Amino acid sequence: MSSVSKPGPASGSSALELAMRSAIAVSEGVRGLTSPNPPVGCMIVDARGKPVGFGGTSPPGQAHAEVVALRMAGTAARGGTAFVTLEPCAHHGRTPPCADALLEAGIAQVYYAVDDPFPAAAGGAQRLRDAGVTVHSGLLAEEVRTGPLRAWLHYARTGRPHVTWKFASTVDGRISAEDGTSRWISSPESRAEVHALRLKVDAVIVGTGTVLADDPQLTTRPPANEPAMRQPLRVVVGERDIPVGARVLDDAAETVHLRTRDPHQVLATLAERGVVDVLLEGGSRLAGAFWESGLIDRALVYMAPMLLGAGTPVLDGIGVGTIGDALPLAFESATMIGPDVRISAVPARD
């Protein structure tokens, strides 16, 4: 299991942004542990501006971020300010409203990044204002929307899991050589980052073809001398049988075999299980099926500095016959990871 470490300061920002970035860091620290609830982060500062408490959303049925932070702050929260990545909730679910907890603690000001999109939970900001608390919204909203709450906000808006298509390729867009070999295209640094990414998602999806060709385990492996980590749900999609001895069937994590080729059905089934954040790691055909269905929300590419000239392409079967029909993307970032380049891009949809 991941743990929430005490957030540290960053340079070059206002005091308000520093506090919210601390809340964002806490939010990122609990991502992967809270679904179907959002991985919210909260920072409490006292009346003099000194940090006195922080907390992230606990697993479902347990305390929300604001309550965790208020418990740490204790009486020092009175007259202070709360910085929260998501609007404090106003409804009674499995836990009492966070807006009420902030009022009872005597919080004088609240800054939050994004509004709660769920009608049943929204309204916390107004409840606080009605009680005399000064409330500000929108602080570092874009960093939260594209960061730790990206998948949950998508899930809240669409009712289906957010899908990140992750793959490693050569510069000329090949994911394996002509003879089928693919280990290792990406660098050790990139592979380590992918293991860390798996820790943050709820499920990892591959096709039966990937299982038969590569026999992946699809787990996140902790560094040496560190305890075992939480594992994502392993999802295998396709009608073919999985060999009894396949590593994806071991007891390291739960595995679900969905005997279908319909990406919509796959995501509907996962949504019923409370899956919010999905990492698609299948081959070119499975990725093509998800693209054709309009179900890929982000592409995460680890591009290695090598050329193959032939071999398996990144994508197959999306029906693009002319440049005018190409699928447009919008680049979010490009970052060096060891010798590789990591590119994050999203569909440029209207």
Cα dihedral 7, 12, 17, 19 sign: positive
- Is 82 known as a binding-site position? no
- Is 307 known as a binding-site position? no
- Is 285 known as a binding-site position? yes
Residue 147 DSSP one-character state:
T
- Is 35 known as a binding-site position? no
- Is 310 known as a binding-site position? no
In DSSP terms, 84 is beta-bridged to 42, 112
Tokens 């860390």 belong to which residue? 196
Tokens 């660098």 belong to which residue? 187
- Is 64 known as a binding-site position? yes
Q: Phi-psi region for residue 296, left (φ > 0), alpha (ψ -120 to 50) or beta?
A: beta
Q: How far is the C-alpha of 148 from the C-alpha of 25, rounded, in Å?
A: 9
Decide: helix, strand or coil at residue 161: coil
Q: Looking at the chain, how many residues does it have?
A: 350
- Is 42 known as a binding-site position? no
Q: How far is the C-alpha of 26 from the C-alpha of 250, rounded, in Å?
A: 32
- Is 138 known as a binding-site position? no
Contact in structure between 283 and 210 (CB atoms under 8 Å): yes
- Is 49 known as a binding-site position? no
Q: How far is the C-alpha of 75 from the C-alpha of 52, rounded, in Å?
A: 10
- Is 168 known as a binding-site position? yes
In DSSP terms, 163 is beta-bridged to 278
Helices 15-29 and 65-73 meet at what angle, rounded to 10?
120
- Is 212 known as a binding-site position? no
Contact in structure between 299 and 344 (CB atoms under 8 Å): yes
- Is 295 known as a binding-site position? no
In DSSP terms, 45 is beta-bridged to 51, 81
Specify whether 142 is catalytic. no
Which one is catalytic: 66, 143, 239, 332? 66
DSSP code per residue over 72-125: HHGGGGTT-EEEEEEPPP-S-SSS--HHHHHHHTT--EEEEEE----TTT--HH
What is the C-alpha radius of gyration for the chain, rounded to an integer number of angstroms? 22
- Just list the catalytic residues: 66
- Per the annotation, binding residues for substrate are 182, 198, 218, 281
- Per the annotation, binding residues for NADP(+) are 168, 184, 210, 214, 221, 283-289
- Per the annotation, binding residues for Zn(2+) are 64, 89, 98
- Per the annotation, binding residues are 64, 89, 98, 168, 182, 184, 198, 210, 214, 218, 221, 281, 283-289
